Amino acid sequence: MTDDEEAQLIARARSGDIRAFGRLVDAHQVAVRSFLSRLLRSTGDAEDIAQEAFVRAFETLARFDGRARFRTYVCGIAYRVWRDQSRAWFRARARDQAYSDTASTDGIDTDLKLALRQAMESLPETQRAAVALCLGADFTHEEAATALQMPVGTVKSHVARGRARLRQVLGDDDNGQDHDA
């Protein structure tokens, strides 16, 4: 397919011509699947991701600027789909490992440990770090401030807000009152 033919098919596909987009898929699917097969070493997964990449390419065709070949555009999308799916797989594996780790340790209710882990993950990153240091690792506010390179007041605020959020998420009904202080 020449560059002019490809440009004409893209223009027609942008205006809603599904057959024109089908011709683009026919022209480039071998290249996309070959790339993915080498990347994944699994023909089935390569076909699934290629299909997803072409769907996304159709959905985003208006953003395709034509500076590269359509094949390049779709391979880029396919790579990002693969990367996102890989990250999701690793996150799922980490969750499974976390469950396995919590199921076999120190007699604390596994469901509670998982709920706490999920609640901690729901906190903003800096709040989670302050809570983990001060409440989880027994750092003083000053020590945590030094470790996190934050003002002490900010650490205290993060810990208070984080504690309140954890209580809310975990269903503690004492309205955030700190009975230890």
pLDDT digits over 89-105, tens only? 656 666 666 666 555 55
pLDDT digits over 136-163, tens only? 777 789 888 877 778 999 999 999 998 9
Please tell me the distance from the alpha carbon of residue 104 to that of residue 85, in angstroms, as a whole number. 29
In the structure encoding, which two tokens stand for residue 91, read together? Answer: 């996150």
Find the mean pLDDT for residues 55-71. 90
| Maximal CA-CA distance, the chain | 75
Q: How confident is the model at residue 178 (pLDDT cuts 50, 70, 90)?
A: very low
What does the CA dihedral 6, 39, 37, 73 come to, rounded to 10 degrees? -10
Question: Which residues, 6+ apart, have CB-to-CB distance to 147 below 8 Å?
Answer: 133, 139
Which residues in the chain are classed under CATH 1.10.10.10? 107-170
pLDDT at residue number 99 = 60
Which residues in the chain are classed under CATH 1.10.1740.10? 3-91
Please tell me the distance from the alpha carbon of residue 15 to that of residue 96, in angstroms, as a whole number. 45
pLDDT at residue number 157 = 95
Please tell me the distance from the alpha carbon of residue 47 to that of residue 25, in angstroms, as a whole number. 13
Taking phi over 0 as left and psi of -120 to 50 as alpha, with beta for the rest, 86 belongs to alpha
Q: Which of 98, 61, 93 shows the shortest CA–CA distance to 77? A: 61
Q: pLDDT at residue 123 above 80?
A: yes
Find the mean pLDDT for residues 26-33. 90
Model-level pTM?
Answer: 0.50
What CATH code would you report for 3-91? 1.10.1740.10
Name the architecture of domain 107-170: Orthogonal Bundle (1.10)
